[in-house]
Amino acid sequence: MGAIEAIREVDKVGAITLVSEEECPYYSRPMISELVSGKANFDKMKCREDTFWKSHNVNALTGYKAISVNMSQKLVKLDKGDPVNFDKLLIATGGKPFVPIIEGANRKDVLTFTTLSDAKLLDSKLKTAKSAVVIGAGLIGVSVTEALVDRGLKVTMVELKDFILNLILDEHSSEMIQNVITEAGVTIVTGQTVKKIIGKPENSQLVGGVILTNGDQINCDLVIVAIGVIPRKDLVANTSVKTNRGILVDKTMSTNISDVYASGDVAEAYDFLIKENRLLPLWPLAHLEGKIAGYNMAGKKALYEGGTAMSSLKYFDMPIISFGITNPKEKDQYEILVECDQEKKIYKKILLTNNVIVGLTFVNDIKKTGIFFHLLKNAVNVKKFKSSLLSENFGLANLPPSLRKKIYERQ
């Protein structure tokens, strides 16, 4: 989507072919939980008009799956029909759910939750299912849990680590949201995982429950595996495209093979905070990466400024924004500013090194967090106004005039 728009900004006539397994790929994947909860229908999930292919002059091969790429002949082989040839190729195949080997996981009611078809399948089970176990309490796990609670299911979340959302939050903020989720009727089990999925006594083909590593049994009708996503890079297996965990790209989103680009969850792109390439499967970054790839493919030089870990959460009516380094192992290497208002349930934490913001977590009061993100991204020295960072009315007015001017005139 981002790439197509960028290409068409530069080049109105070149032929674009899009290959997608999904019939309507221009929908918001983060919104599948809204679909299941009933807060949104599919029309609302579409990020673009239905005329998108036509208005952008795209030959859209939807319902087709790319099987392999022949780099020397510049051909993409599809699961059906003729192969497609290319001058430039973008691989934006995204991620797929990571499903570990669990005994008994071959049952039909063991599901994953990343695509529209996953959401539709889950929805179809909710007419009869009364309870569910969600394995993994990251973003996907929490989002599907909220949707299931909205649909009246009894949900148990099982998280291997000591606290939920541990890749995004620190212990304190995690506990705050854990309390809210528990109050909504969800059982949260931490430090455990599922070692076995068992069938129902009356029909062993149906999911009846799970056995945890400590031997406890939790009965349920559905199991949702939400441990994480891994890059879907099968397409470049047996090619000379360099990969690590994802496909490696430079700042133009080009792979090591000329004319072959990658973007989104399949790519390992630049993180400006740690100054290395890494996997960051996040929607805003995927969109931007696609756009940068599109410009370069169409011949307009554009460099990816990089991204970093960033999450905004809305689940269970507890707004949370967190980005950068939020829960470091070596805490003494950071200056940590904390404000905690128990009564208002507000928690704010900022991590700094050498007077530069490197991480932030705000719970329940998330206003103007974008200003902090800007300061982090541009490695601004905040020494002069550090004492005001956590004040309730912090804003652009607290910044020194020269800096304020710079941000104000960013446009």
Which chain residues interact with other proteins by CB under 8 A? 2, 28, 30-31, 34, 39-40, 44-48, 283-284, 287-288, 291, 310, 312-314, 317, 319, 321, 323, 366-371, 373-374, 388, 393, 395-398, 401, 407-408, 410-411
Nearest distance from residue 29's CB to other proteins, in Å? 9
The rounded distance, in Å, linking the Cα atoms of 52 and 106 is 38
Question: Closer to other proteins at the Cβ: 40 or 248?
Answer: 40
- The DSSP bridge pattern shows strands 110-112 and 356-363 to be unpaired
Beta-carbon contacts of residue 76 (< 8 Å; ≥ 6 apart): 19, 66, 68, 69, 70, 83, 84, 85, 86, 89
Task: Provide the residue count of the chain.
Answer: 411
In the complex with other proteins, which residue's Cβ is closer, 15 or 396?
396
**Residue 96 vs 374, nearer CB to other proteins:** 374
Identify the bridge partners of residue 199 per DSSP, sorted by sequence position: 207
Shortest separation between residue 100's beta carbon and other proteins, angstroms: 28
Least Cβ distance, residue 227 to other proteins (angstroms): 22
| CB neighbour list of residue 317: distance below 8 Å, 6 or more residues apart | 180
Q: How far is CA 133 from the centre of its chain?
A: 21
Closest to other proteins by CB, 46 or 151 = 46
Q: Give the separation between CA 19 and CA 235, rounded to whole angstroms.
A: 12
CB 29 within 8 A of CB 115: yes
Longest alpha-carbon distance in the chain: 73
d(CA 23, CA 61): 9
Q: Which is nearer to other proteins, 201 or 401 (CB)?
A: 401
> Taking Cα atoms as reference points, which of 88, 16, 99 lies closest to residue 296?
88
CB of 54 to other proteins, least distance (A): 17
Record the tokens describing residue 19, joined without a space: 């290959």
In the complex with other proteins, which residue's Cβ is closer, 148 or 321?
321
Beta strand ranges found along 242-393 (DSSP E): 247-248, 260-262, 267-271, 276-278, 310-313, 320-324, 335-341, 346-353, 356-363
Distance of closest approach, residue 302 Cβ to other proteins, in angstroms:
11
Helices (H), ranges, 102-213: 116-125, 139-150, 171-183
Nearest CB to other proteins, comparing residues 68 and 312:
312
Q: What is the Cα–Cα distance from 292 to 284, expressed in whole angstroms? A: 13
CB of 332 to other proteins, least distance (A): 28
24 vs 39, 81, 123, 241, 245, CA distance in Å? 20, 19, 18, 28, 28
Of 170 and 221, CB closest to other proteins: 170
Q: Tell me whether residue 254 or residue 322 sits nearer to other proteins (CB atom).
A: 322
DSSP letter assigned to residue 137: -
Nearer to other proteins, 163 or 362 (CB): 362
* C-beta of 60 vs 366, nearer to other proteins: 366
- Least Å distance, CB 310 to other proteins, is 6
Tell me the three state secondary structure of residue 42.
Answer: helix
Three-state SS at 403? helix
Least distance in angstroms from the C-beta of 268 to other proteins: 20
Tell me how far, at minimum, the Cβ of 169 lies from other proteins, in Å: 15
Shortest spacing between CB 38 and other proteins, in angstroms: 13
Q: What stretch of H or E contains 133?
A: strand 131-135
Q: How many CB atoms lie within 10 A of CB 183?
A: 9
Q: How far is the CB of 236 from other proteins (least distance, A)?
A: 26
